[in-house]
Amino acid sequence: MNWDQLRTILWLRWRLTRNQWTRTGRFNAIITLIAVWVGLCMAVAAGIGSVLVGGLTLSKASPTVILFVWDGILGVFLLWWSIGVVAELQRSELIELGRFLHLPVSLRDVFLLNYVASHLSFSLAMVVPVALGLTAGLVFSRSVAMILLLPMLAGFLFMVTAWTYCLREWLASIMVNQRRRRTIIMALTLALVLGGQLPNLVVSAWQRGGRRGPQAQQAHREKEAQAKAVGKIAHRAVPFLWLPLGAKALAEGRVWPALLASAGMMGLGAIGLRRAYRATLRFYQGQTEAKAAKPPATVQPDRPRGQILVEKHLPLVPPEAGAMALASFRSMTRAPEVKMAMSMNIVMVLVMATAALFRGSSRIPDEVRPFLVTGAVGMTFLGMMQVMFNTFGFDRDGFRALVLLPTRRELMLLGKTLAILPLAVGVFVVLLALLTILAKPPLLAVVAACVQFGAAYMGFGALGNFLSITIPYRIAAGSLKPTKTTALTTLLIIVSQMFFPLAILPILVPPGLGVLCAHFGWLPGAPVNLLCSLVLLAVLAAVYRLTLNPLGKLLQSREQRILQVVTQEVE
């Protein structure tokens, strides 16, 4: 590729980026530029601070401390990097190679351009200055041999970016099927959340029983010895940890481990980049491994089939609302983004439950136990907040069918609310069971929590209907990311999510009154909690019923605007 071709490609990319910024509005473009400027200032400040840390704080630190410092820096980098990879999987290449197959341009050069440009990310912009500053500080404070950290850092970044690009190209080739693509993105996101919580679990398990007598302390010292042995093996076997191991060796005055680590990471990076190029070229040239065609299936005679889900009827529900509820429920059970929203809070509670199990539940005061089971209600709707507050955004092009239906709009809203009920109940039952086992609350408190769930469902159902009509926005398929939102819509989304704790406050009133009555000896706390929960359920059910017809009229007046927002394509 000569200079004119490179300049043309870079100009094309800049023009596309500029068009994307102008399409989102001048305000969003200004906010983006301000964010970029703030990020650059933070990177410079972090680099200067790391120079001071390396030159002053770590000047007389032990090699093990230097090992742990580099472990922490690389751990934060890999976490941010993983988040960026999941986000980038939902986007296209900088320049699609398929558009250059008929042009007299070297595909290898375009591939390298894509490789470099795709890794200009926030994680690199923040971590690289810190690593360079820390290296400079260690060179000035300890020895000139510390300058060998630079080739190790370059090898580490090259290895990570090359294999990440190889992974992206492989995933892109198997994610041509859109349903498979969404499932893979959901699985990667959940794996990332679990991986981010592993340190919390390890620390909780490590601290268990650390100060409970001589035997426990002896067991704790044995754990420390085992952890050190495992750490040594991991630093030698895992390529991601070769950089901290080389830094420790340089602090001890040994140079060869650092040189070997640099060469090893550079070699692994070269292998990963070569595999990525070959896989990308085969994919765009159609040289994938094709499977043998299956023989045509023999025609089977029609068999009587049972009644499918969307053909069923819900008791005590108008037929139009029941049909809308069943169709919406089937759509949500097949949507990976809805599964992601539901599973996130279950993962978080499992992590918290494991940590609480390690630490024990005997220290929980009796006054706090009713609030814990009530917290299961809040956690349920916290995870489903985006689904309930934007019910039409997940329909996308399917909202066209809703507009053409002759169904009364209040029945449509009722059906949308009922469709969320089975999902919310499933999440709530899991959370309530976990918290009941761990906190051991009174039976009446558990029953009151079930009543509070019904009250919160009614309240959030009415609030979700209102916000879905007034602040609609399209959700990208396979993710929970809003697309093409205006500045006002983005601000309203943030405000509605920030005020979620205020919306959840009413369900905390019954357990609060119960604890208050029990504290002053007026009445037993558990019956008061249950009675107040029943009153709250009745009030919020009446509120939902009274707001259904006005919100139906509001939906009818704004459905054209909602249709325009949720059906616009993402470029």
β pairing state of 474-475 and 482-483: antiparallel
Give the DSSP letter of residue 306. -
Q: Among residues of the chain, what percentage have pLDDT more than 90?
A: 11
Radius of gyration of the chain, Cα coordinates, nearest whole angstrom: 29
**Token pair belonging to 93:** 């290449």
| Span 292-314, pLDDT tens digits | 445 555 555 656 556 666 677 78
Residue 368 pLDDT: 79
Least confident among 30-34, 162-166, 176-180, 550-554:
176-180
**Predicted pLDDT at 290:** 46
Give one DSSP letter per residue of 369-387, joined into a string: HHHHHHHHHHHHHHHTHHH
Q: Copy the structure tokens of residue 427.
A: 């999440």
Residue 97 binned pLDDT confidence (cut-offs 50, 70, 90)? low
| Residue from 151, 133, 15, 120 nearest 69 by CA | 133
**Is the separation of the CB atoms in 112 and 118 below 8 Å?**
no
Pairwise CA distance, residues 384 & 427, whole Å: 9
pLDDT digits (tens, 9 = 90+) for 389-430: 888 888 877 888 888 888 888 999 999 999 989 888 888 888
CA 25 to chain centre: 27
In Å, the largest CA–CA distance within the chain is 87
Q: Rounded to whole angstroms, how far apart are CA atoms 555 and 469? A: 6
Q: What is the pLDDT of residues 42-78, one digit of tens each?
A: 888 888 888 888 888 888 888 888 888 888 888 888 8
* Mean of all residue pLDDT scores within the chain: 77
241 compared with 2, residue with greater pLDDT: 241
pLDDT, mean of residues 520-528: 85
- pLDDT, tens digit (0-9, with 9 covering 90-100), for 203-240: 555 555 444 556 656 666 676 677 677 778 888 888 88
User: Per-residue confidence at 94, pLDDT binned at 50, 70, 90?
Assistant: very low
Q: Which residues of 487-502 are buried (b: 16+ CB within 10 A; e: fewer)?
A: eeebebbeebeeeeee
Element (H, E) at 281: helix 256-284
